[in-house]
Amino acid sequence: MSKKIILSVAAFIAFAAPAALAQSTTTSTPATTNPPTIADRKTDQQDRIANGVQDGQLTSGESKNLETKEADINHEEAGMRASDDGHLTAADRSKINTQQNHVSNQIYSDKHNANTTHYGNGEVGTRQKLQQDRIANGMRSGQLTAGESAKLEGQQQSINQEKNGMKSANGGKLTAGDKTALNQRQNRASGNIYNKKHNATQR
């Protein structure tokens, strides 16, 4: 091979190598991802609470408390938007995200503490599990707002407290009359779940 050809090849390599390296560096850089929006955070929190309700990691009292906090944040967000022609300022978004971070930590703590829901195998326990599943599904789908979920979970908490009181008064068992009374209360709760899931208010 002549010296001219060797020099030409060397010159091509010297010219092409930096360009190829630059192209490789450019294409290997990962694309930046946008931070989650306020709506994304809201959906994520509701899904996490719903999962905790459905698998028993969250008691009705814990989920009521969490949904009350979510409802408060949503109410504050609505006020922020109303004062700025439907928009959120950077400061508004920062404040809401900080509040959602606090609730996120509370969700984690509540889902990993010693409090869990045990439904039992009887008719009353089966009914309780069904109601919680319906509420959880409404949280995920957006049919239930955080405020509606909080009220429904508060109702379930009250029924559970009554059930525990009945058991304590009768050696850990429910009488036939107790079961009838609890079923009647769950019937009313069932109607409330249906009405709130099918009204015009959605997340």
pLDDT in tens, 46-66: 999 999 999 999 999 999 999
- Report residue 120: phi and psi, to 5°: 85, 170
Question: Structurally, how many domains does the chain consist of?
Answer: 1
Instruction: Please report whether residue 203 resides in a domain.
Output: no
Domain annotation covers residue 86: yes
The Cα 163–Cα 147 span in angstroms is 25
pLDDT of residue 111: 97
Supply the pLDDT for residue 24.
Answer: 47
List the domain range (segments joined by +) for residue 145. Answer: 38-197
User: What pLDDT does 29 receive?
Assistant: 55
Residue type, 165: G
30 is a domain residue: no
Listed as ranges, residues in the chain with pLDDT below 50 are 3-7, 9-13, 15-17, 20-22, 24-26
Task: Return the structure tokens found at 109.
Answer: 């703590």
CA distance 173 to 177: 11
Query: Is 122 part of any domain?
Result: yes
pLDDT at 28: 52
pLDDT at 49 (0 to 100): 98
Report long-range pairs for 19-25 (Cβ below 8 Å, ≥24 apart): none
Task: Confirm whether 189 is domain-assigned.
Answer: yes
For residue 21, tell me if it sits in a domain: no
Cα–Cα distance list, 93 to 32, 125, 160 (Å): 20, 42, 38
Mean pLDDT (the chain, rounded): 88
Please indicate, yes or no, if residue 129 is contained in any of the structural domains.
yes
**9 in any annotated domain:** no
Q: For the chain, how far is it from start to end, CA to CA, in angstroms? A: 76
Indicate the residue type of 37: T
